[in-house]
Structures are given as structure tokens and as C-alpha cells.
Amino acid sequence: ESKMAHPLTELGRDVAMMVLCLAGINTVDLFQLRKKDYYNGIIHYQRAKTKMFRADGAYMEMRVPALLLPLFEKYKSTDEADEHLFCFAKRHTTSDSFSANVNIGIRNLCDAMGIKKQNDYSVYTFRHTWGTVAQNDCGASISEVAFAMNHSSGHNVTRGYIKIDFSPAWILNEKVIDFIFFSDKPSIREQKPKEEHFRLSYRY
């Protein structure tokens, strides 16, 4: 923690937490969220990267887990004239500059913690981590992971025709959060493979 107003390392940590706990949401979508997009404990948004190319407008609803409520309160915009949900736009003129500064903060934090190859870490690390944990450790299918992460998953036309129930994505997100923050189970990727013992014939 710092006495400064949201230094980059703190910003990097907090935004990484938001990304990890909102099913890998993109920083541009966090930056563009409006106050009107957040109600009944749910954020409603269109994924900026793909909304122009999908029949459903890349629309998504994600329930905000209790773990994130303090960060939502910390970064909420208190300017009544500002339509943004968060105060990010007050310091960063564009979503690109916001993302760049978040990445700098994450790398500075890695450096301070003595993590090697800190330049390999970015906010996308946490998006990828969410998808990996969901599939490897929470038993989700690729299709379920894609749905929660707001990928089209080959069904973008179908999604444009039906009323979507987003609650399965919320349930999966809670499973990922529980696994990462509230369990001591090692990730399946960290478990050592069991040694296989087998008999050798006289010839081999």
C-alpha cells in the first residue's frame, strides 16, 4: 500500500484482481463501463473488441463477486458529471493508456517481489489464468469457458436469436474464485506426474 493516490503498482494489482474475478474481462471493457451498466450487483456490457462483428453485439452480464466490492468502492467515480463507473478516465485519457499503465504496474510489482521474467507478465496473464483454472481445475468444458469469457465460441449467430441466461457463467466464475483464493488445492498444472513402473522383458 502507498500514501500516493493509486500508484501504478497498486493500480496494476487491483486491476489484475478485477480481471481475475470477472471471468477475465478486458481492461478496455473495465475502462468503458458506465454507471448505468452496473445495477442489481451485475455489470452489463458489450465486449469492445468484438461487438461490431457479432450478431449478439458481444453482450455480457457478469455478477460482481463479494470479493471485488471493496475495489468497486475504491475506484468508483464520485464525479456526478462523469458517466464512467470507475475513476480510471480521470488519470488515463484512453483505454490504451490505461492498459499500458496497468501493465507497467504489474511488472513493477513483479520486480519488487523478485519474480523473474517480469516482462512476461501483463494483465492478459490473469485473463489466461482464469480460463486455464476454469478448464483444468474446475472441470469446465472449452465451450463453458468461452461463454464465460465472452468469446463467440462459434455460436455468435445463435446467441443473437435467443434470450441468454448468464448465470452459468456466474457460477463458474465463483468456482474459479473459490479455487484460487479459498482452497489450498494445487493446480493440476503444478502436480507432478506419477512415476510409472513397468516390467522389462528379457529382450528389452
Give backbone dihedrals phi and psi of 38, rounded to 5 degrees, phi first: -120, 105
Q: If pLDDT is split at 50, 70 and 90, which confidence band does 158 have?
A: low
Other C-beta atoms closer than 10 Å to the C-beta of 66 total: 11
Provide the whole-model pTM: 0.86
Rounded alpha-carbon distances, angstroms, from residue 188 to 22, 25, 115, 136, 191? 22, 23, 22, 6, 5
pLDDT digits 0-9 by tens, 116-153: 876 789 999 999 999 999 999 999 999 999 999 998 76
